[in-house]
Amino acid sequence: SQQGEEDPQALSIQEGENATMNCSYKTSINNLQWYRQNSGRGLVHLILIRSNEREKHSGRLRVTLDTSKKSSSLLITASRAADTASYFCATGSYNFNKFYFGSGTKLNVKP
Amino acid sequence: DVKVTQSSRYLVKRTGEKVFLECVQDMDHENMFWYRQDPGLGLRLIYFSYDVKMKEKGDIPEGYSVSREKKERFSLILESASTNQTSMYLCASSFETQYFGPGTRLLVL
């Protein structure tokens, strides 16, 4: 399976701390994307990093991609209680027809 | 603002019933997807469609069928609902990035 796998499965931190989540995958990819899901809702796209990029920033989010290790990390800086959610990585195929999701990291940010 | 809507947020059906889940997108995307999400299993792809009347099986198509008669609409059909199809169903459309609907939580009794 090409499925991405997130690590850790669950993470609990205090507000203001940084949160780091990792994703590993198995095959070559066109891009890797991170999504957030609040409890019982649909997924919201956060950031996309292409296979020829190594790092990308969006606000308090920083994503890195290491294609040699087939891994990516998502860093949320200065976390807030509103960041409490599940975070998923998804690998995108070259024809944009398929995406493979991991089972997610559940982040709890305590106020 | 991009929008993917799903016909119901919550649905309760009886075993053996035929169930229709509808998804509509307003972004003129060619690709549309149906996933189910279960605790500990993440998102699993049921079917996807890359054009009108075109469909491909995902990882878990058994017990499901789909219909795409118009570009903006992608329907998931449970021909004869079973209790193991109780789940959260998520629809998405994409060009490069996937945009998700709010999900339908289906309970089959």
The pair of structure tokens assigned to B9 is 């947020």
CA-nearest residue of chain B to A1? B59
Within a domain: residue B78? yes
Within a domain: B89: yes
Tell whether A88 lies on the interface with B, counting CB pairs under 8 A: yes
pLDDT at A76 over 60: yes
Range of the domain at B14: 4-96
| Total number of domains constituting chain B | 1
Set of chain A residues whose Cβ sits within 8 Å of the Cβ of B42: 3, 88, 101-104
CATH code, B57: 2.60.40.10
Which option is the CATH number for A5-110: 3.20.20.140, 2.60.40.10, 3.60.15.10, 3.40.50.300? 2.60.40.10
Contact A48 B96 (CB under 8 A): yes
How much is the pLDDT for A95?
67
- Cβ contacts (< 8 Å) between A104 and chain B: which residues? 42
Q: What pLDDT score does B39 carry?
A: 85
Would B109 be classed as within a structural domain? Answer: no
pLDDT digits (tens, 9 = 90+) for B61-90: 999 999 999 999 999 999 999 999 999 999
pLDDT for residue B60: 94
- The answer to whether residue B103 is domain-embedded is no
Say if residue A24 is exposed, middle or buried (CB neighbours under 10 Å; 0-12, 13-18, 19+): middle
pLDDT value for A3: 64
Residue B107 lies in a domain: no
What pLDDT sits at residue A1? 44
The predicted-structure confidence for A77-88, as pLDDT tens digits, reads as follows 999 999 999 999
Specify the range with the lowest mean pLDDT, choosing from A43-47, B19-23, B27-31, B40-44. B40-44
Parse chain A into domains and list their residue ranges: 5-110
Instruction: Dump strand ranges (E) for chain B.
Output: 4-6, 10-13, 19-25, 31-38, 42-51, 54-57, 64-70, 73-78, 87-94, 98-100, 104-108
User: What confidence tier does A11 reach under pLDDT thresholds 50, 70, 90?
Assistant: very high
Q: Which residue has the higher pLDDT, A23 or A102?
A: A23
